[in-house]
A and B are shown apart, each in its own frame.
Chain A
Amino acid sequence: MTGVSVRDLSAGYGGKTVLRGISGDFPPGALTFLLGPNGSGKSTLLRALGGALPHGGTVTLCGRDGASLSSRERGRLVGVVTQSPSLNFPFTVEEVIAMGRLPHRKLLGSPDVRGREAVRRAAEAMELEDLLDRPLTTLSGGERQRTMIAQAIAQEPEVFLLDEPSSALDPRHTLALYRFLRQAAAEGKTVAAAVHDINLAAEFGDCVWLLGEDGLAASGRVKDVLTGDVLSSVYGVSFAPLGRGAGEGERVLWRAV
């Protein structure tokens, strides 16, 4: 149980390197937000950690060398939520969530009571109980996003990696999502979410990674990293304090000016 450690990671697409020399930790039992301007490599980092993109350097997942994990082992350890699945075939919400059980399945598919329970709880966490029989193709963007998050929850991973998981969610479901992720962290899971809304990190985060043009610009506890000076240097625009959030502690919210 050591969360996720990244040492000297580099990754990119084709000949283009997006990330170079990234080192840092996502501690277990904490909700870490990944911030940074467009194109700073947030998605690239999450895809590399999730095993969908070859990378240089070393990644340690829950104390195990990422390169030594089989696909199945990685699937049990890490749940990834990325932006927009393609919608070529009309799978139902329940079928899509149940795919989260793939890394846990037995060879000859014996009745999986624990799996069905996990699917039920995942649907409940994302308030999808009434949509279970609906094809994904007929849902709104936010409902699809909740379905993909529920798939990762059904996976019961130790590590959650989420890429803009609330980009299409209404305020009610945004709140439900980050409360769920805080709860998962409180249970000892490692949770990392890339977002554009700095105030989500200010409000719900334990830790922050701030990716800049030249790699990891700052990382650490929210109150240490999210300051006007640091934000200005990374985003290239001034930030002013907006007020205090409702969460515990003295959390300062920010707006670009």
Chain B
Amino acid sequence: MPLSPAAVADILFSPSPDASPQEILVVRSVRLPRLLASLGAGASLAVSGAVLQGVLGNPLAEPYTLGIAAGAAFGASLAISLGGIWVSGAAFAGALAALGLALVLSRLSGRGSQLSMVLSGIVVSSVLSAGVTLFKALADERVSSIVLWLMGSFSGASMEEAGAVCAGAALLFGTALWWGRDLDAISLGESRAVFLGVEEGKIKAVLLVLASLATALTASSFGIIGFVGLVGPHLVRLVLGPSHRPLLAASFLGGAVLLAGADGLARSLGELPVGVITALAGGPVFCWILVRERGKGA
């Protein structure tokens, strides 16, 4: 249904009698929630990525590479296959458990080094994604949409889901921005922040929980969308530098625009899962960062 931007604006703000009920329905109930959801999820994932990278001192960290997104999807699909109660809570618990598992595994296997952290995240992620597929196989009617989650999609987004995702993004963003200068010191690693009078333990714990929450809200409604949390903050750092206050603000905006754009592309390519687009575009960027990090011997 082709509509000019002016017609869309009309329908959103003051529907004229010319607009058909069908047009109003599509714009207000289908496209608007979908746009808000992709904007909110993009902001949420990019800010989560920036926060995780700073807190863990690891440029490769993001909700997808650390297994947080897969944990959330696992928790949500478990709750759905058990009858569909408390899905968001289960997603949050799954996200936290997956992050905890990846961090413990990384500490045991490689003293928490950058690569061991990502390897652990990938292991956790693979196992949990397999778990999601298993739930789908066991309970196929109720969970027919589960598999789509593994690649993420915004089709069928509701206003409530979009609101929850935006709220999670705003909460994480506001808290991280408040502690922006502390995050700068924390990202230096090696206890620098402690020596500079920062309550490192408390700030790290709160931000890890909020990043898991924001990711869970996104993943439980729209599935696993990889690499936005990686690409967003890295593009911003290239332009603005690593200081966290500008980094967080620009990641919030940049992530929103990137993912909404990716979703637009996914839709115009015949309703592909948006996670396919972000993985195709983000994978090479991940490789580039990996090579750069190794190159400087970090």
Contact yes or no, A50 B195, CB < 8 A = yes
Contact yes or no, B188 A91, CB < 8 A = yes
Question: A52-79 interface mask toward B, CB cutoff 8 Å, 1 = contact, 0 = none?
Answer: 1000000000000000000111111011
Contact yes or no, A103 B188, CB < 8 A = no
B198 at the interface (CB under 8 A from A): yes
Q: Note all chain A residues with C-beta closer than 8 A to B195.
A: 50-52, 75, 78-80, 82, 152
Contact yes or no, A75 B184, CB < 8 A = no
Could you say which of A105, A151, A152 contacts B181, with CB atoms under 8 Å apart? A105
A99 at the interface (CB under 8 A from B): yes
Could you say which of A47, A76, A152 contacts B197, with CB atoms under 8 Å apart? A76
Dominant SS among interface residues on chain A: mixed
Which of B85-93, B224-232, B237-245, B259-267 sits within the interface?
A: B237-245
A86 at the interface (CB under 8 A from B): yes
Could you say which of B59, B182, B189, B237 contacts A102, with CB atoms under 8 Å apart? B182
Give Cα A91–Cα B189 distance, bound, in whole angstroms: 13
A28 at the interface (CB under 8 A from B): no
Question: B274-298 interface mask toward A, CB cutoff 8 Å, 1 = contact, 0 = none?
Answer: 0000000000000000000100101
Q: In the complex where A86-B57, A90-B241, A95-B184 touch, is A102 in contact with B198 (Cβ < 8 A)? A: yes
Contact yes or no, B196 A95, CB < 8 A = no
Contact yes or no, B296 A91, CB < 8 A = no
Q: Note all chain A residues with C-beta closer than 8 A to B251.
A: none
Q: Closest residue to B188 on the A side, CB-wise?
A: A85
A100 at the interface (CB under 8 A from B): yes
Give Cα A85–Cα B298 distance, bound, in whole angstroms: 11
Q: Note all chain A residues with C-beta closer than 8 A to B191.
A: 47, 50, 52, 82
Contact yes or no, B196 A99, CB < 8 A = yes
Q: Closest residue to B59 on the A side, CB-wise?
A: A88
Give Cα A102–Cα B237 distance, bound, in whole angstroms: 22
Q: In the complex where A88-B59, A89-B187 touch, is A50 in contact with B182 (Cβ < 8 A)? A: no
Give Cα A137–Cα B199 distance, bound, in whole angstroms: 26
A166 at the interface (CB under 8 A from B): no
Q: Note all chain A residues with C-beta closer than 8 A to B166.
A: none
Q: Note all chain A residues with C-beta closer than 8 A to B114.
A: 88
Could you say which of A51, A88, A99, A109 contacts B185, with CB atoms under 8 Å apart? A99
Number of interface residues of B (CB under 8 A): 30
B194 at the interface (CB under 8 A from A): yes
Q: Closest residue to A75 on the B side, CB-wise?
A: B197
Contact yes or no, A102 B243, CB < 8 A = no
Q: Closest residue to B196 on the A side, CB-wise?
A: A102
Could you say which of A76, A88, A155 contacts B298, with CB atoms under 8 Å apart? A88
Number of A-B contacts (CB under 8 A): 91
Give Cα A109–Cα B178 distance, bound, in whole angstroms: 11
Q: Note all chain A residues with C-beta closer than 8 A to B58.
A: 88
Contact yes or no, A102 B185, CB < 8 A = yes
Q: Note all chain A residues with C-beta closer than 8 A to B199.
A: 71
Contact yes or no, A88 B241, CB < 8 A = no
Q: Note all chain B residues with C-beta closer than 8 A to A99.
A: 181, 184-185, 188, 192, 196
Contact yes or no, A50 B194, CB < 8 A = yes
Q: Note all chain B residues with C-beta closer than 8 A to A1.
A: none
Give Cα A109–Cα B199 distance, bound, in whole angstroms: 18
Contact yes or no, B241 A72, CB < 8 A = no
Contact yes or no, A86 B190, CB < 8 A = yes
Give Cα A105–Cα B192 distance, bound, in whole angstroms: 17
A109 to chain B, nearest CB (A): 8
Give Cα A96–Cα B185 distance, bound, in whole angstroms: 8
Could you say which of B59, B192, B198, B237 contacts A85, with CB atoms under 8 Å apart? B192
Q: In the complex where A88-B59, A91-B242 touch, is A103 in contact with B298 (Cβ < 8 A)? A: no
Question: B194-233 interface mask toward A, CB cutoff 8 Å, 1 = contact, 0 = none?
Answer: 1111111000000000000000000000000000000000
Give Cα A103–Cα B197 distance, bound, in whole angstroms: 5
Contact yes or no, B298 A82, CB < 8 A = no
Could you say which of B59, B181, B192, B194 contacts A51, with CB atoms under 8 Å apart? B194
Q: Note all chain A residues with C-beta closer than 8 A to B185.
A: 99, 102
Q: Note all chain A residues with C-beta closer than 8 A to B181.
A: 99, 102, 105, 109
Give Cα A5–Cα B200 distance, bound, in whole angstroms: 25
Give Cα A50–Cα B196 distance, bound, in whole angstroms: 10
Give Cα A91–Cα B198 distance, bound, in whole angstroms: 18
Q: Note all chain B residues with C-beta closer than 8 A to A237.
A: none
Contact yes or no, A90 B182, CB < 8 A = no
Q: Closest residue to B293 on the A side, CB-wise?
A: A88
Question: B25-65 interface mask toward A, CB cutoff 8 Å, 1 = contact, 0 = none?
Answer: 00000000000000000000000000001100111000000
Q: Closest residue to A104 on the B side, CB-wise?
A: B197
Q: List 10 A-B contacts (CB under 8 A).
A: A50-B191, A51-B194, A52-B194, A78-B195, A85-B189, A85-B192, A86-B188, A86-B298, A99-B181, A152-B195
6 additional contacts (CB under 8 A) given A85-B190, A91-B242:
A52-B195, A79-B195, A86-B298, A89-B59, A95-B184, A109-B181
On B, residues with C-beta under 8 Å from A are 53-54, 57-59, 114, 181-182, 184-185, 187-192, 194-200, 237, 241-243, 293, 296, 298
The 4 closest A-B CB pairs, nearest first, are A75-B197, A103-B197, A89-B242, A86-B189
